[in-house]
Amino acid sequence: MITQIRNSVIGILSIGVCVLACSSGHSDAKPEIPIERVATHVFFGDPFILLHEGTYYAYGTAEEDGIAVLVSQDLLTWEAVPGNRLALNKQDSWGDRWFWAPEVYAIDGKFYMYYTADEHICVATSDSPLGPFKQAEKKPMIAEEKCIDNSLFIDDDDKAYLFFDRFNDGLNIWVAELEADLMTIDKETMRPCIHVSQEWETVWPRVNEGPFVIKHEGTYYLTYSANSYESPFYGIGFATADHPTGPWKKYEGNPVLQKPGDLVGVGHSAMFSDKEGNLCMVFHSHYSDTQIHPRMMHISKVTFEKKNGKTTLKVDENYLTPQRLE
């Protein structure tokens, strides 16, 4: 179960490591040498968490040269892979800058990473959640225009959809069907989902972004973020539909998460189930109420509440702030 941890303070964790005696003629064992490990926040923007075979993998916007990955067993403490290796390196990508908003899915023994590079949506594959992820063909999914924040949804009938942001009405969310390779967009099926339309979304320029879709009891839920990520009023709302292609109707009580507790600038969320089967949401916040970067990763529980015959998606404002061990 996720418990509330607010404003985790940077700490020092001392871990004793036993060093065996060298076989150089000396029989005395060397004393234990304490190694200090620094625990910091997980500085990921646009975070995503994959649970695969009992291990959590976190990906996010953080590096100039690609996409980083961290590993955890408990959602509380996270570590990089040896050598701090990237899951995706720009040498294996179409783009060479602005690596944003990765999402990773395990499908039929292969791992697919949907991400943004140089303001174009891309997909790369790997045999491991740790990577290296590579693009078989170094080209964006939509070459002729800028799009960002692609998110995969596969329905019960195995039909795959890609949700993403277009720049043709401010920043707004569209959907398209994917072909069987899960890498090619059927452009004939592209259609709009949502755009800026509620008062809370107008604090900052016209932005609806960061889509993520799940299905619950026959209804599709699209979570999204509104206002610029630079705004302290960046927040999360949701819309519902009877089909992945819509029409989508926004929840009248939006936002469902905005400035919880001491956090500001919360948004760009994704959902996952933890080891206990709890539905969770991972999202980022600003570093503080006066500083945007580096953005920090947080986790909350998500529930569905029925009231007056209607079901509402609710995000718990008691959030977890994980730490990274260096």
Report yes or no on 26 lying in a domain: no
Q: Tell me whether residue 305 is in a domain.
A: yes
Question: Is residue 257 a part of any domain in this protein?
Answer: yes
10 found inside a domain: no
Residue 188 lies in a domain: yes
Q: For the domain that residue 52 is a member of, what is the CATH number?
A: 2.115.10.20
Domain count of the fold of the chain = 1
What is the Cα gyration radius of the chain? 21
Contact 178, 161 (CB under 8 A): yes
First-to-last alpha carbon distance for the chain, in angstroms, is 25
Half-sphere exposure (CA, 13 Å, Cβ side) for 125?
11
Q: Are 31 and 311 in contact (CB under 8 A)?
A: no
Of 75, 79, 60, whose CA–CA distance to 322 is shortest?
75
pTM recorded for the entire structure: 0.89
Note down pLDDT in tens along the chain; length 326 residues: 444 434 333 332 333 333 223 333 333 444 454 556 688 999 999 999 999 999 999 999 999 999 999 999 999 999 999 888 999 999 999 999 999 999 999 999 999 999 999 999 999 999 999 999 999 889 999 999 999 999 999 999 999 999 999 999 899 999 999 999 999 999 999 999 999 999 999 998 899 999 999 999 999 999 999 999 999 999 999 999 999 999 999 999 999 999 999 999 999 999 999 999 999 999 999 999 999 999 999 999 999 999 888 899 999 999 999 999 98
Q: Are strands 219-226 and 147-154 parallel, antiparallel or unpaired?
A: unpaired
Q: What domain range is 119 assigned to?
A: 43-325
- In whole angstroms, give the CA distance from residue 219 to residue 79: 36
SS (H, E, C) 115-159: EEECCEEEEEEECCCCCCCECCCCCCCCCCCCEEEEEEEECCCCC
Residue 8 is assigned to a structural domain of this protein: no
Is 325 exposed, middle or buried, given 0-12, 13-18 or 19+ CB atoms closer than 10 A? middle
In a domain, 13, yes or no: no
184 occurs within a structural domain: yes
